[in-house]
Amino acid sequence: MAVSTKFYAIVAGVGPGTGRSVAIRFSEAYPVILLARSPESYKDVVAEINKGGRKAIGITADATDESALKSAFETIKKELPDLKLAAAIFNVRPNSRPSIKPFLELSIKDLDTSLKGNIHGFFNFGQAVVPLLLDSVATSPLPPSLLITGATASLRGSKLWSVVAAGKSGQRILAQSLAREFGPQGVHVAHAIIDGRIDVPDATHYPRNDETPEGTISPYAIAESYWYLHTQHKSAFTQELDLRPHVEKF
């Protein structure tokens, strides 16, 4: 598949794991925009993609910040004036480490970090990309897609993960609402439950599934799943799937 000259993809939330792999995978088909809070997060993968003869553009922006996101999309319009959006991946983590603590040791700030990163962030991203995806429905060869990275905590609470689970579950149900609203209009909204620890490969070759340590999830395998979701025919959309290492207890 040649890289599209009419459509691009955007990956919000790029680090060394899922975001990087998804950006590489989608760059096989589309010019890819990488959004991250700091250039350190995307600069290596942007270089890696561009070196391979494909196209990637890194933009520094906090996806949970409405105006930063707005300005990012203005930049995209300048950089890729004739391209429409085919796929948007929301893979953003809250902007500080999650607070894995007993409930009574948590502060409202811990809660805010989770809600802001998971729910506000996805809300803002959704409001920015859904109109662009709707605008691509008539012409995109593959159904325009909004894909969200969920986790075990998206489905259930637990002793130490109370605020993380509150944020992830709210994000999941928000994504489900969007699927119900925009599926009939032709946009594919899908949520992936990543149930296990993700391997962070220390090398740059692709794919490296075979070198994934037993019990961890290969980010390349996640990327394949996201690509598959994007390719699903509109008569058979998946709204949610789980992904876990074959040895994972569940």
Site for its own copies in 185-204 (CB under 8 A): 186, 188, 199
Q: Are strands 32-36 and 216-217 parallel, antiparallel or unpaired?
A: unpaired
Is residue 152 a contact residue for its own copies (CB under 8 A)?
A: no
Q: How far is the CB of 47 from its own copies (least distance, A)?
A: 26
The answer to whether the beta carbons of residues 220 and 21 sit under 8 Å apart is: yes
Q: How far is the CB of 179 from its own copies (least distance, A)?
A: 8
How far apart CA 42 and CA 6 sit, in angstroms, is 23
Measured from the CB atom, the residue of 7 and 182 that comes closer to its own copies is: 182
Is residue 141 a contact residue for its own copies (CB under 8 A)?
A: no
**Looking only at residues 7 through 36 of this chain, which bind its own copies when binding is defined by CB under 8 A?**
none
Q: How far is the CB of 198 from its own copies (least distance, A)?
A: 9
How far apart CA 154 and CA 181 sit, in angstroms, is 20
How far apart CA 81 and CA 120 sit, in angstroms, is 28
Contacts of 202 (CB under 8 A, 6+ apart): none
Tokens of 238: 């998946």
Contact with its own copies (CB under 8 A) among 6, 139, 181, 204: 181
Is residue 205 a contact residue for its own copies (CB under 8 A)?
A: no
Contact with its own copies (CB under 8 A) among 73, 75, 123, 206: 123
